[in-house]
Amino acid sequence: MSDIGLPARRSAIFLLDQIIGEGKLMSELIGSGVLDRLDPADRARAQRLATETLRSMERADRILQRHLQKYPPLTVRNALRVGTVELCQGEAAHGVVNAMVGLISKHKRYGHLKGLVNAVLRKVADKGPEQWPNLRTPRLPKWLRGPLVEAWGGETVLGIEAGHYAAVPLDLTPKADATAVAKATGGTVLPTGSVRLTEAGQVSNLPGFTSGDWWVQDAAAAIPARVLDVKPGEKVLDLCAAPGGKTMQLAATDADVTAVDISNGRMERVAQNLVRTQLSATTRVADVFDLTGQYDAILLDAPCSATGTIRRHPDLPFAKDGSEFGMLIELQGRMLDHALTLLKPGGRMVFCTCSLLPDEGEVQIEEALARHPDLSVDRAALDVPGVDPAWITEEGGLRLRPDLWAELGHMDGFYVAALQKS
């Protein structure tokens, strides 16, 4: 049997085993080098197969349930899932079935289940592709779906799930001229000024990458820095800065920017991005709570559940269960309080999280206002191009969700609030 496609499929199954079985995030796995031995094409294919399988997990399981009397061990089940997704999305049955049978037959513990894999995937190949489009859009797990339905309502959550399942475009933040970047890359300028590409290919091969004309950043993630609206020469602090998209936005204004992150490795990436884009900022590896000084403006992108990024990171609902969210919510409040001590009187701060949970957004700001009498919300700061006034919430923040911009390709979930210190 040919080995074509086997390394990528084997690695995709391994990624799924680690995410579902061990609770590891794909970014952590890839960052630790688990795919480094693959050639670039197989590396990209393994990540794509794992991502598509996670995004389509509910559909794959519904197809497989029709052909399984009981669930096999996780590795075998993940091989069946990857195979089902490939078959139902149009891959040739012969190649997929042979590849998965071959991979399981060589497994030390589960080789005896190769016959099961062969029989099930042949049945999937027969009926699965016609059944696939009739299955519902995959839903979030109950531990997350319940709180979101309570917060936003069932219809909105269905829209969020549709955004998670839709193809994810690539968004670029231009250093200067959005129209020029769109023309060079074949993208479209979004209402907020980001450039969106529906079929990007290899990012490093796109025009303007080497010259640093843009950087990859979801359109929603680019809004907080626009809300902060820093001016040339202002002393600006970017907290929890990695991977650096907001840092580069701030630096492009010719402000005096200090970017801080607790991770040395992540801060190296910020520094690399600044070099590529020929932008200048001071980078520091430090704990937020150790910082002193006074700044005109602060951007705090606080650590959070990252539930707003599931459309691009579908592993999160499978690797996490919500048990750590309480700790994160408490940390956000403490970070916000300390950041205010670094803000000059009359200064302004943007607090943001890439979360869909009100406890990590709206509630944080309501409680911060109650703790700090000298703090107010600046609603006028949210009046930036492309921001719909309907997105502004009762307490004066900005709520972005994946169900928004459905006609444009959706966006990540974010909460953004502009704060003014008297």
Rounded Cα distance, 66 and 119, in Å:
12
Q: Residue 56's Cα: distance from chain center in Å?
A: 17
Catalytic residue of the set 88, 240, 304, 354: 354
Rounded Cα distance, 270 and 261, in Å:
9
Output the CA–CA distances (angstroms, integers) from residue 331 to 86, 295, 326, 335, 415, in the order listed. 41, 21, 9, 6, 16
DSSP string, 383-406: --TT--GGGB-TTS-EEE-TTTTG
Q: Which has the closest alpha carbon to 226: 277, 179, 191? A: 191
- The first and second tokens of residue 167, run together, are 């193809």
Rounded Cα distance, 244 and 16, in Å:
28
Query: 357: phi > 0 → left, psi -120 to 50 → alpha, else beta; which?
Result: beta
Q: Is 304 a catalytic residue?
A: no
Please name every residue paired with 376 in a beta bridge, in sequence order, or none if there are none.
420
The residues assigned a catalytic role are 354
